[in-house]
């Protein structure tokens, strides 16, 4: 089901791991003249995802403000670090048909933050309120019904 989504509360919730700071430019996830932004949310290995489409009027604003550029540090991640927590995928479409995809993986561990993987091979780490430096943690994934 397709639902238009404006940059109100819904978009802020969809981008919870990466929202909070305005752009200042170590990387730019958006193609020129963005006309469409799709956001997909899932968790670990769930077989389904939520899909949201940012309204065309808000697409450029999403590119300018959705990622905390001033907190992102370039970092490489192992496969073992990814896929244990929340996954948010952004697909940005430009007016020329070009597409950029950004994957944001929540990392396991208290205050571990998130990994931002660009489709051009670059990857970045953003902290949550955790300690420096980033310390990966092993996690046990349990069925949802195990949550008290």
pLDDT digits (tens, 9 = 90+) for 93-136: 888 999 888 888 888 877 788 898 989 998 989 887 433 433 34
- Judged against a pLDDT cut of 80, whether residue 13 lies above it is answered with no
Q: Give the pLDDT band (50/70/90) at residue 76.
A: very high
**In contact, 113 and 55? CB cutoff 8 Å:** no
- Residue 28: the pLDDT is 67
Q: Are 121 and 75 in contact (CB under 8 A)?
A: no
**Which residue ranges make up each domain of the chain?**
4-146
Q: pTM surpassing 0.75?
A: no
* Residue 135, C-beta contacts closer than 8 angstroms, at least 6 positions apart: 109, 112
Model confidence at 18: pLDDT above 90: no
């Amino acid at each position: 089901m397709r639902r238009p989504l404006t940059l109100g509360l819904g978009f802020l919730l969809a981008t919870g791991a990466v929202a909070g700071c305005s752009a200042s430019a170590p990387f730019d996830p958006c193609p020129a003249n963005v006309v469409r932004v799709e956001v997909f949310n899932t968790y670990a290995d769930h077989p389904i995802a939520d899909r949201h489409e940012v309204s065309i009027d808000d697409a450029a604003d999403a590119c300018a403000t959705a990622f905390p550029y001033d907190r992102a540090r370039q970092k490489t991640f192992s496969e073992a670090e990814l896929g244990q927590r929340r996954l948010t995928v952004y697909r940005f479409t430009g007016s020329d048909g070009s597409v950029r995809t950004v994957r944001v993986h929540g990392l396991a561990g208290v205050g571990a933050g998130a990994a931002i993987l660009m489709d051009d091979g670059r990857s970045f780490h953003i902290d949550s309120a955790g300690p420096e430096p980033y310390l990966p943690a092993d996690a046990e994934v349990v069925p949802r019904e195990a949550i008290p």
